[in-house]
Structure 1
Amino acid sequence: MRNRIPQIIRDGGTEPVVYTAGRGEYRHRLRDKLGEEVAEFLAADDNTAPEELADVLEVVHALAADLGVDEDQLEKIRAAKTAERGDFSDRIIWTGNR
């Protein structure tokens, strides 16, 4: 969970039950959270999609950090892949080969 959520729960008058996960559990939970956030994005309408996409990005950044990759490194990897293989801006759909 986001690290400010326990305090937000406390501010609402309830005491949260939390613990700090070990590395393996943390990575597993982040992967699960990524799936959850992607599902929420896919179900969102155009009004809420940007907020859900920001949640996906937050989890991606947490996963990258857990792998020892900071945001600058992640961006360099993304840019290198774009330079090599292109991006998605042309809306090209591949349907197979002849």
Structure 2
Amino acid sequence: MEPHSRHGKLVRDLIPQIIREDGAEPVTYTASREEYRSRLRDKLGEEVAEFLDADEDSAPEELADVLEVVRALAADLGVGADQLEKIRAAKAAARGAFAQRTVWTGNR
């Protein structure tokens, strides 16, 4: 992965427009594919941390942000939302999901 400056952060596509509408002029650039992938990974960590810190009222919105980044990462890997769901469903069929709240503590 190519190194990138830690200055700046990956933002949603409409953020520059929103900044302009608020009367400021954003300074932006388009990341290379390698930088984009790296920044998406950073963003996933950021969004997961925000979800973990969220209260019950804001948790769904924070979780939606996590999902947005996951979908962008999947697309970057060439995997569409439908294909990602098929992969998820196949894993759930083969190994289960998390619906039963099972906690493993080791083997006897």
Q: TM-score band, normalised by the shorter chain?
A: over 0.9
CA distance in 2, matches of 1:23, 1:95: 41
Query: TM-score of the superposition, structure 1-length normalised?
Result: 0.99
Alignment partner of 1:5 is 2:15: yes
Instruction: Note the aligned Cα RMSD (angstroms).
Output: 0.4
In 2, the alpha carbon distance for the partners of 1:64 and 1:5 equals 22
Runs (5+) with no aligned partner, structure 2: 1-10
TM-score (norm 2): 0.90
Amino acid in structure 2 at the alignment position of 1:85: R
Higher helix share: 1
Structure 1 residue 49 corresponds to structure 2 residue 59: yes
Matched residue, 1:97: 107
Q: Where in structure 1 do 4 or more consecutive aligned residues deviate above 6 Å?
A: none
Residue 26 in structure 1 maps to residue 26 in structure 2? no
Give the aligned residue type for 2:69: V
Partner of 1:87: 97
Instruction: Indicate the SS of the match to 1:35.
Output: helix
Percent identity reads: 76
How many correspondences in the alignment?
98
2: distance between equivalents of 1:83 and 1:49?
Answer: 27
Q: For the residues of structure 2 that align with 1:92 and 1:70, how far apart are their CA atoms?
A: 30
Separation in 2, partners of 1:92, 1:42: 20
Measured against aligned partners, the alpha-carbon deviations of 1:54-92 in whole angstroms (never above 9, x if no partner) come to 000000000000000000000000000000000000000
Alpha-carbon distance in 2 for matches of 1:46, 1:96: 31
* 1:32-62 Cα distance to aligned partner (Å, 9 max, x none): 0000000000000100000000000000000
